[in-house]
């Protein structure tokens, strides 16, 4: 059985929660991670941003950038 790749993060309310890293995707020079809360059917995409050597992840919402990430994810995981 494959072990899920999880990490603990602090949410906007200051609570520590565990999230599962579903995938990492690179589109051009940009890197993204797709994550989901433990036992959740919902997934969220975040863009990797590095400033002064510190890497952070910012939400990309549900607009055009999200659609590009979703298309890349689907393409990567579609059996031909």
d(CA 69, CA 74): 9
40: CB partners within 8 A, 6+ apart: none
Q: What is the pLDDT of residues 19-76, one digit of tens each?
A: 899 999 999 999 999 999 878 888 889 999 999 999 998 989 889 999 999 999 999 9
Q: Using an 8 Å Cβ cutoff, are 60 and 48 in contact?
A: no
Q: Using an 8 Å Cβ cutoff, are 41 and 61 in contact?
A: no
47: CB partners within 8 A, 6+ apart: 30, 31, 32, 57, 58, 60, 65
Instruction: Note the pLDDT of residue 1.
Output: 43
């Amino acid at each position: 059985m494959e072990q899920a790749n999880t990490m603990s993060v602090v949410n906007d309310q200051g609570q520590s929660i565990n999230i599962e890293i579903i995938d990492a995707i690179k589109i051009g020079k940009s890197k993204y991670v797709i994550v989901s809360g433990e036992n959740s059917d919902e997934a969220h995409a975040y863009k990797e941003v590095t400033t002064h050597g510190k890497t952070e992840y910012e939400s990309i919402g549900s607009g055009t950038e999200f659609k590009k990430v979703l298309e890349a994810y689907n393409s990567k995981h579609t059996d031909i």
